[in-house]
Chain A
């Protein structure tokens, strides 16, 4: 357990560092939300000065950062000037919506990548391997922006799927199951986009890791003693390759979350991405810091999960039980 505690402590330090870094980067910027108001002739300079004092914009950056940390203690995550309220109520539904996209996309891409990569590794140079290699290279070459727009075009042309958004217009009048169905229908397009973004990297790595194990002596020995090929791949090769693959799980989340920002915004899915972009455009400092920190929390949490899995899978990390 010492290993996991150490990882957790490390994660907390990273989070503090990232939030401070964002605060300094974003807070050092010329122009704040209040300065944008200055352009409005109906707002007097006195009002602006009063707002600056009220929102603590005249304090030093470290001072503002400490006050932001205190507001986390109160469960507020800062104060959004654009929405004129605490940040937390804005944040929770956005986090939920982002998870609603990224969790199914992660599961789906692993469900496809594991068998596909293992199979490719088992039959190097075969037709499936070549098709998979060609497809992954092509997919890797498609930027998220273009992929998202292309899928939207597909939806517009075919008319089977809704174009963007999370719910239909008459969502309020629907029964519970209809609502679930409605959200799922809206999920299809963005989840497909995210799966296609993360899939090629996973397939490549699964193929490489399993392929490396397949060449090992003990696999050859097992093959020589007549273990069937399928059992060889799944029970022996895949299991031995589990370590790098679990690490890959943690690493691949970064790309997925990152792509999610673009896909969410293009497909107007109300996740963390659009929240951040709106906040950057409105110079809403605390929302920017909170959104960036939350994306980091999701990433770090995913990595902790990977660490936990690694801990379960690899007995070498558990010296006290050995």
Chain B
């Protein structure tokens, strides 16, 4: 093939940068979010996004945007003191990026039925939704590497058992398997444990496909000409594994992880959406969407769809990344 870059490959760095920004936003949720994600204000149920104004009613232009509260303007302030928070469990602070003075409220993405700020919940929700996916994918791929590697390397009955077991996991439609595995865990679960539970579920659900692919790579690696040549020159098993088989396997593993990560992000969202994942009051993108199962919410409050939009954006970024990785792995020699 020619060396002309693939359309997806060209934007590779842009895609990666965008994902890094999204993840940084999730990590610094405490600072970026104006409010505590579970702080309720019953007077503000289903409030539409707060409008930011630059021009007041007398027609004067303000450099600092402001919001209206009962007809009075309140200027937007930066680095305000608010609810205390911790970032990555390392340091704590009370400073928030944005805020307005007391009687007014800054709901840039509106509020939910309990008057909780959607933007804050979206940012905090990302901490669960965005991290469960990639971590789960990493776990599955590690399982896949170990089991597929064992199957491919030893062959014989080890191979037969592992691959037959994998076949069973692949024979069930994915979501059915997900909920079947969910059944193996207690119905009511603390929100703090939900994260670990979701990791456990997706790791169990998803090991089979990476294992199968890795096994293929290992098997074909054992019979390649250059491997035979290396063996003839006196290379040991370990050397062949390290120098010839594993690099190929890692390429496949990486692509698989990039493909699995968005799928697992969706798995968390789906489980939580149907009330079997992360529970209230801890926000996740899935349980934030769950309120759309109510007809009045679905028809009247468009800003409740925003977690779906966020999910969509992250999904698309991951697919572009997986495409680009796939191109790179396919372009590798050998």
Contacts and interface: CB of A to CB of B under 8 A. Distances in A.
A259 B184 CA distance: 22
Interface in B176-194: 176-177, 179-187
B274 A277 contact: yes
B167 A14 contact: yes
Q: Chain A: interface residue count, which band?
A: 35 or more
B334 to A, nearest CB: 21
B158 interface: no
Contacts of B177: 292
A281 B187 contact: yes
B308 A145 contact: yes
Nearest to B204: A25
Contacts of B169: 21
A29 interface: yes
A259 to B, nearest CB: 8
Contacts of A277: 179, 274, 276
B308 A296 contact: no
B20 interface: no
A108 B35 CA distance: 47
Nearest to A276: B179
A300 B173 CA distance: 10
A292 B298 contact: no
A22 B323 CA distance: 34
Contact of B173 (A22, A149, A288, A299): A299
Given A21-B168, A281-B187, A261 B311 contact: no
A103 B173 CA distance: 16
A31 interface: yes
Nearest to A260: B173
B82 interface: no
Interface stretch (B109-117, B219-227, B234-242, B265-273): B265-273
A25 B184 contact: yes
Contacts of B266: 143-145
A295 B176 CA distance: 7
Interface of A is mostly: helix
Contacts of A261: 173, 175-176, 179
A137 to B, nearest CB: 7
B171 A300 contact: yes
B312 A30 contact: no
A286 to B, nearest CB: 12
A280 interface: yes
A153 B309 CA distance: 13
Contacts of B298: 149, 152-153, 156, 163
Interface in B242-276: 262, 266, 269-270, 273-276
A288 B183 CA distance: 8
Contact of A283 (B168, B179, B187, B269): B187
30 contacts: A18-B171, A22-B172, A29-B185, A30-B186, A141-B312, A141-B316, A142-B315, A143-B312, A144-B266, A145-B266, A145-B311, A146-B309, A150-B308, A153-B305, A163-B298, A254-B174, A255-B174, A258-B173, A258-B174, A262-B175, A273-B175, A276-B180, A281-B187, A281-B275, A281-B276, A288-B180, A288-B183, A292-B177, A298-B173, A299-B173
Interface of B: 164, 167-169, 171-177, 179-187, 262, 266, 269-270, 273-276, 286, 289, 292-293, 295, 298-299, 302, 305, 308-309, 311-312, 315-316, 319-320, 323
Interface of A: 14, 17-18, 21-22, 25-26, 28-31, 36, 137-138, 140-146, 149-150, 152-153, 156-157, 163, 254-255, 257-262, 265-266, 272-273, 276-277, 280-281, 283, 288, 291-292, 295-296, 298-300
Closest 5 CB pairs of A and B: A141-B316, A257-B173, A258-B173, A258-B174, A26-B183
